[in-house]
Amino acid sequence: MKSALVIHGWTPKRGAMIRSRIHVTLRPSILDPQGKAVAHAIGTLGIDGVSAVRMGKYIEVTFEGTDGAAARAATEEICRKLLANPVMEDYRFDVEEEG
Tell me the per-residue pLDDT of 40-89, one tens digit each, with 9 for 90 and over: 999 999 999 999 999 999 999 999 988 999 999 999 999 999 999 999 99
Q: In what order do the strands lie in the sheet with 17-26?
A: 56-64, 17-26, 89-98
Between CA 53 and CA 33 the distance in angstroms is 10
Closest CA to 75 of 3, 18, 13: 18
User: Is 40 in contact with 70 (CB distance < 8 Å)?
Assistant: no
Given a cut of 50, whether residue 1 has pLDDT beyond it is: no
For the segment(s) 17-98, the CATH number from 3.40.228.10, 1.10.1200.10, 3.40.640.10, 3.30.1280.10 is 3.30.1280.10
How does residue 9 score in pLDDT terms, banded at 50, 70 and 90?
Answer: low
Between CA 62 and CA 20 the distance in angstroms is 6
User: Is 81 in contact with 7 (CB distance < 8 Å)?
Assistant: no
CA distances from 66 to 13, 24, 32, 63, 95 (A): 6, 24, 37, 7, 12
pLDDT of residue 98: 84
